[in-house]
Amino acid sequence: MDMKDCTGLLSMIDRLIDTSGPQRSEYLRGYQRGRRVSVLGVSDERIEEHRLVMEYSDIDSGDPYIDSFARGCRDGFEEIAPENPSLSAKSTESSKSLLIASII
């Protein structure tokens, strides 16, 4: 994916963030960041930060928002399709915003 394609994708993700529930929004923010790193690379001073986020993508930190962000970052970096909205809601929260996010 080149920068032009990535710009369109990142704009679409921005719109989805605005209409998604809090946990889904964190996943999408992470996904967006992962895509940016995949396309643009990561600066030397942020390599450690990126490595830590990637490590969190496979563990349960106890905070569903951190976990969602980290999974999104991993998925975006690996350039795989975003996960289904219903899978990113690990909590038992059943708010209207999560229902709307699962429809989108």
CA distance 64 to 67: 5
* Furthest-apart CA atoms within the chain: distance in Å: 41
**Structure pTM?**
0.73
Number of domains in the chain: 1
pLDDT mean by block of 10 residues, the chain; 104 residues: 76 91 93 87 78 80 89 90 65 42 47
**pLDDT in the model for residue 96:** 42
Sign of CA dihedral 2, 41, 82, 85: negative
SS3 44: helix
Which domain, by its residues, includes 19?
3-103
